[in-house]
Structure 1
Amino acid sequence: MAGPSRARARVDRGAAVVEFALLVPVLLLLVFGIIQYGFYFWAMQGGSDIARSAARSAAVGNPPTCSAFTSGVRQQINDLTGTGTGAVVTRSYSTAPPAVKVGDTVTVRVEFTSFDLHLPFLPFVHDGRVSQTAKARVDYVPSQPQACP
């Protein structure tokens, strides 16, 4: 009676290999999709931290020039994702820049592209674009505050 059970085991082994081969692509897509979305949410959190830090810095008048401000924020984004050169950084005040006073609000907005694994068949949230905004109360007004478009 050992013969029929051995034959059945060989058939079952072949079926398991076929089932595994059919499921592996789906499982890999699921695992790499989780990793991709993890990168995206990590970039969102990092972008939020960068925007908050930049708003606090702008609230005390550091740095006063627009070019120094945007280059500093872009460097932080580049350290986070490596896409800082294409980042859009804006700084605006609740009052027009010549009339900014203590107690007004400064708003900083950062937009950049998250790290992308370029997975086929897996859509990416907002094409990987991260946009974060932060506000802070102005505590110090430099001699000539500048809004950064």
Structure 2
Amino acid sequence: MSRRRNERGAAAVEFALIIPVLVLLVLGIMEFSRLYNQQISLSNAARAASRVMAISNDSGAAVTAAIQAAPSLNPGLGAGNIAFSPGTCTSGAVMSVTVSYQSTLMTGAFGATLNLTGEAATPCGG
């Protein structure tokens, strides 16, 4: 009986020591999952813009397609986030689109922001 009495607070102390590690692990999983989702959205936006440019060679329509392909980004994409290389699509060339986004992290435990980019390339002419 006296042995149990000596170990009364041991579980509480062990829990207090391990809880910061567990909280940091859960926050890391949440941040990674959110950033991975945003990265997939950026890749889809770049792919949509690249496809529109390769088919119609209309940068305005390509920007609209990119914005519509990534509705989950908040704040959303704008024309300044999307870069085309080369500027126009000629037959036989390859249209490369880069979509950049500055993500604000939820917890701030790993920094305030992180820059993400999505890239895609499509041969011009359909």
Q: What TM-score results when the alignment is normalised by the length of structure 2?
A: 0.81
**Structure of greater relative contact order (alpha carbons < 8 Å, 6+ residues apart):** 1
Q: Residue 135 of structure 1: CA displacement?
A: 0.8
Closer, same or farther: CA 80–115 of 1 in aligned 2, 3 Å: farther
Q: What SS is found at the alignment partner of 2:28?
A: helix
Identity %, equivalent residues = 29
Letter in 1 for 2:123: R
> Which residue of structure 2 lines up, in the alignment, with residue 51 of structure 1?
46
Partner deviation per Cα, 1:30-84 (whole Å, 9 max, x = no partner): 111121112112222221122112211211016x2x344324423433x122122
Can you give the 5+ residue segments of structure 2 that lack an aligned partner in the other structure?
none
Query: In 2, Cα distance between the equivalents of 1:129 and 1:85?
Result: 13
Query: In 2, Cα distance between the equivalents of 1:113 and 1:13?
Result: 50
Q: Which is strand-richer, 1 or 2?
A: 2
Match of residue 90, structure 1, among 72, 83, 93: 83
Match of residue 69, structure 2, among 76, 83, 87: 76
Q: Does 1:107 align with 2:93?
A: no
Q: Answer yes or no: is the 8 Å Cα contact 1:104–1:137 preserved in 2.
A: yes
Q: What SS is found at the alignment partner of 1:130?
A: strand
Q: Answer yes or no: is the 8 Å Cα contact 1:40–1:115 preserved in 2.
A: no
Q: Residue 85 of structure 1: CA displacement?
A: 4.3
Query: In 1, Cα distance between the equivalents of 2:73 and 2:104?
Result: 6
Q: Residue 13 of structure 1: CA displacement?
A: 3.0
Q: What TM-score results when the alignment is normalised by the length of structure 1?
A: 0.70
Q: If you compute each CA radius of gyration, which structure gives the higher value, 1 or 2?
A: 1
| CA root-mean-square deviation | 2.4
Letter in 1 for 2:48: S
- Counting only pairs closer than 5 Å after superposition, residues 26-45 of structure 1 correspond to structure 2 as 26-45=21-40
